[in-house]
Structure 1
Amino acid sequence: MRFGYLFLIIGLSFPFMASASSNQTHSKIDLVIVNKSESSMSVLRDGQVIKTYAIAMGDAPIGHKLTEGDQRTPQGRYILDYKKSDSAFYKSIHISYPNDEDKLRAKALGISPGGMIMIHGQNPRSKMSPEEAQRYNWTNGCIAVTNKEMDELWRMIDEGTPIEIWP
């Protein structure tokens, strides 16, 4: 009789345990960290790295983005403020560059800080495989991942998620 109750309890609780496990791997993240010198991007939840991606950046990845067309990826703390499913590159998530500091710097230098910096997928016109393209810095300052990885990020990132871009 005891075993019957035990199987009943295990049988009733199993769907809840499976559901909790599934939600853990697909739940939203609360911070994105880009390490330009390592060409990597990590997504974090509660201070723990969930996954790290190899990234491609602009042709001139060293240093902070100063002006439109300089091929640099900005550095600093920004917000992932909106998603664009009909991007020129496979999906994109907009980075809130330029922030107030970037705008002040550009104004003092008499230049345009540029904008439209995104995390996005592959270039649909590229003749390289996704894996090969990720070995080169080919964007105009954006952060690129493979389309498969972009699909993962799309599900994990909500608008308003902070992003830190480190040198």
Structure 2
Amino acid sequence: MPRLNRRHMSMGLLTALAACGSARGPEFKTYNGPPVTQVVVQKGQRRMHLLSGQTVLRSFDFGLGNQPVGHKQFEGDGRTPEGLYFIDRFNPRSRYHLSVGISYPNDRDRAFAAQFGRDAGGDIMFHGRGPEGRALAPKNRDWTAGCIALTDDEIEDVYSMLRLNTPVMIYP
């Protein structure tokens, strides 16, 4: 019987140690303030604002796609979309620390690309840097494939504050 107890103690200790730290992802922040009712992204100024009604709750600087001027039209063009979109998903296991999906492409984006026999692309996100971005961001402010990149600490705040279907207005 003592051998069984040691085995249980060993397993319990291993379980406790595993619970102390996670090999994947940050501990999730919580947010208990006013709800974010809209995200405003100003590409030209590289400034994003989280609003509750008319009140700015938080603002962030960011990096864009590697071709930052103009509306995203096709997969691989390196542009960030412009117009009205919505938060449509959250990824706690993003290779860029955390990510929050934007509903690009919409029907209009897909129809435009289809006129040219092209794909509109997809997977446009707000995300952190993660290991790849930490290597690229110091050299190039605009380093993504069309996403909006924040620091890892900032995306943790954004991730905690946003909810599904929050409108995102992206201006040139």
TM-score by length of 1: 0.79
Cα 1:30–1:138 shift into 2, 3 Å: same
| 1:151 corresponds to 2:159 | no
Number of residue pairs aligned between Structure 1 and Structure 2: 142
Counterpart Cα distance in 2 of 1:102 and 1:129: 28
Q: Which residue identity is paired with 2:88? A: D
Aligned with 1:124: secondary structure?
A: helix
After superposition, where does 1:10-25 map in structure 2 within 5 Å? Answer: 23=32
Counterpart Cα distance in 1 of 2:156 and 2:96: 13
Q: How many angstroms does 1:118 deviate by?
A: 0.5
Q: 109, 112, 115: which is aligned to 1:105?
A: 112
Aligned with 1:38: secondary structure?
A: coil
Aligned to 1:139: 144
Is the CA contact 1:59–1:139 (under 8 Å) kept in the aligned structure 2? Answer: yes
Is the CA contact 2:130–2:152 (under 8 Å) kept in the aligned structure 1? Answer: no
Q: 21, 30, 38: which is aligned to 2:45?
A: 38
User: Quick check: which one's helix share is greater?
Assistant: 1
**Larger deviation: 88-97 or 102-111?**
102-111
Q: How many angstroms does 1:154 deviate by?
A: 1.2
Q: How many angstroms does 1:51 deviate by?
A: 1.4
Aligned to 1:164: 169
Aligned to 2:98: 91
| 1:81 corresponds to 2:88 | yes
| 1:55 corresponds to 2:62 | yes
Q: Which residue identity is paired with 2:146? A: G
Cα 1:120–1:127 shift into 2, 3 Å: closer
TM-score by length of 2: 0.77
Percent same amino acid among aligned pairs? 37
Q: Which residue identity is paired with 1:30? A: T
Is the CA contact 1:30–1:44 (under 8 Å) kept in the aligned structure 2? Answer: yes
Cα 1:127–1:159 shift into 2, 3 Å: closer
Counterpart Cα distance in 1 of 2:39 and 2:133: 27
Aligned with 2:130: secondary structure?
A: coil
Q: Which residue identity is paired with 1:152? A: D
Counterpart Cα distance in 2 of 1:76 and 1:48: 21
The root-mean-square deviation of aligned C-alpha atoms, in Å, is 1.9
Cα 1:48–1:143 shift into 2, 3 Å: same
